[in-house]
Amino acid sequence: MRFHIQQESDIPASTQLYNQICFAIAARHYPPGHRLPSTRQLAMQTGLHRNTISKVYRQLETDGVVEAMAGSGIYVRDQQKPREVRTPVHIRNRGVTDLDREVRKCVDGLLNAGCTLQQTRELLTREIDWRLRCGARVLVSTPREDIGASMLIAEELEPSLDVPVEVVPMEELESVLESASNGTVVTSRYFLQPIEELAKRHGVRAVAVDLNDFREELNLLKELRAGSCVGLVSISPGILRAAEVILHSMRGNELLLMTATPDVGSRLLALLRASSHVLCDRPSLPLVEQSLRQNRSQLMRMPQVHCAESYLSSDTIELLRKEIGLQTN
């Protein structure tokens, strides 16, 4: 993946790079355990000073997104990486790993670590029981200021999970877990570090879901002619902020960009009046279409509206189902 920096921008180069790397990790362009480009490689690609890139990497490490390994490089932190779920015993004709051998390796590892067979059975049973308890409910959590991101995640999870899905602001998560400490807390990789700390204190799991890479939307924006006005509408202010930085890094001042949340009618109408193209998320689409119908006489032209069909990546929901012990389809 290539990163683009607008050197003449009012947005600091370090902020541009930070947001692009965060998005690349959240959208799994760089999966957990992946080695990121060296400061030298990024300096050659972006034209930034290596000290600036090092500063960005240090901030990413502080935020729990990456980890530095001495003498090796910077790696995407393995933040609750979804574990491989073995195929059931009755499905053995598909070239899968020898399951009996995998079980023996696990048991042998615990025995070699000094456990007795009884202790080994207790440890494995405890882990399995804990995971099953964590599958009793799903709490989707992000900071209150960006609760729209939680709502987007929950909207896509609810139809696919056979357990209750609840949106909880991160500021209220502690009290919710104190009242009932079971379940799995789901968030995006942007917010996983503080969520993990809360989850650990209360004996529940924290899992990050992967975002859509928005390849179609990014390609559309790359192809727009210079001077076009683009409107971005989302129920998540955080998405709008990140998208603004990423788009500016891609196109600089070639495009005029406006953003709005759908609940602010006056700002949404101003955006629709000015924009030739409008990109929105699914919850925002009905309000965008309603505003277009109600104010058609005030518009010089109807903008082209493109709705991003999904916020999450195509396979992250199935991975989550496996993580919380639900039967896969």
Please state the domain extents for the chain.
13-76, 99-132, 136-211+314-323, 215-308
Question: Is the confidence at residue 97, as pLDDT, over 70?
Answer: no
| CATH class of residue range 215-308 | alpha beta
What is the DSSP code (8-state) at residue 213? Answer: -
- Segment 168-188 shows an average pLDDT of 90
What would the pLDDT profile of 2-33 be if each residue is shown by its tens digit? 888 988 888 899 999 999 999 999 888 888 88
Q: Answer yes or no: same fold for 13-76 and 215-308.
A: no
CATH of 136-211+314-323, one of 3.30.420, 3.30.70, 3.40.50, 3.30.1460: 3.40.50
- Segment 292-298 shows an average pLDDT of 92
For residue 320, give the 3-state DSSP assignment: helix
Nearest to 42 by CA among 70, 12, 8, 2: 2
- CB count, 10 Å around CB of 219? 9
Half-sphere exposure in the Cβ direction for 302 (13 Å, CA)? 13
Q: Answer for the pair 301, 161: CB distance below 8 angstroms, yes or no.
A: no
Spacing of C-alpha 43 from chain mean position: 26
Least confident of 80-84, 103-107, 191-195, 284-288: 80-84
Share above pLDDT 70 across residues of the chain, in percent, rounded to a whole number = 93
DSSP H or E stretch at residue 140: strand 138-140
Concatenated DSSP letters for 268-301? HHHHHHH-SEEEEETTTHHHHHHHHHHTGGG-SS
Give the burial class of 232: count Cβ atoms within 10 A of its Cβ; 0-12 exposed, 13-18 middle, 19 or more buried: buried
How far apart, in whole angstroms, are the C-alpha atoms of residue 243 and residue 319? 26
- Look at residue 81 in the predicted model and tell me its pLDDT: 45
Question: Is the confidence at residue 327, as pLDDT, over 70?
Answer: no
Tokens 């058609």 -> residue: 296
Question: Is the confidence at residue 292, as pLDDT, over 60?
Answer: yes
Nearest to 61 by CA among 82, 49, 41, 75: 75
Tokens 């609840």 -> residue: 166
Full strand arrangement of the beta sheet holding 184-188: 165-167, 138-140, 184-188, 205-209
- Look at residue 36 in the predicted model and tell me its pLDDT: 94
95: confidence class by pLDDT, cuts 50, 70, 90: very low
Pairing mode, if any, of strands 73-76 and 66-69? antiparallel
Q: Answer for the pair 184, 192: CB distance below 8 angstroms, yes or no.
A: no
Between 61 and 265, the higher pLDDT residue: 61
- Look at residue 132 in the predicted model and tell me its pLDDT: 77
Question: Is the confidence at residue 228, as pLDDT, over 90?
Answer: yes
**Residues with Cβ within 8 Å of residue 148, at least 6 apart in sequence:** 234, 235, 236, 237, 238, 239, 261
How far apart, in whole angstroms, are the C-alpha atoms of residue 156 and residue 25? 20
Question: Is the confidence at residue 91, as pLDDT, over 50?
Answer: no
89: confidence class by pLDDT, cuts 50, 70, 90: very low
| CATH class of residue range 13-76 | mainly alpha
How far apart, in whole angstroms, are the C-alpha atoms of residue 77 and residue 139? 22
- Look at residue 323 in the predicted model and tell me its pLDDT: 79
- Look at residue 128 in the predicted model and tell me its pLDDT: 83
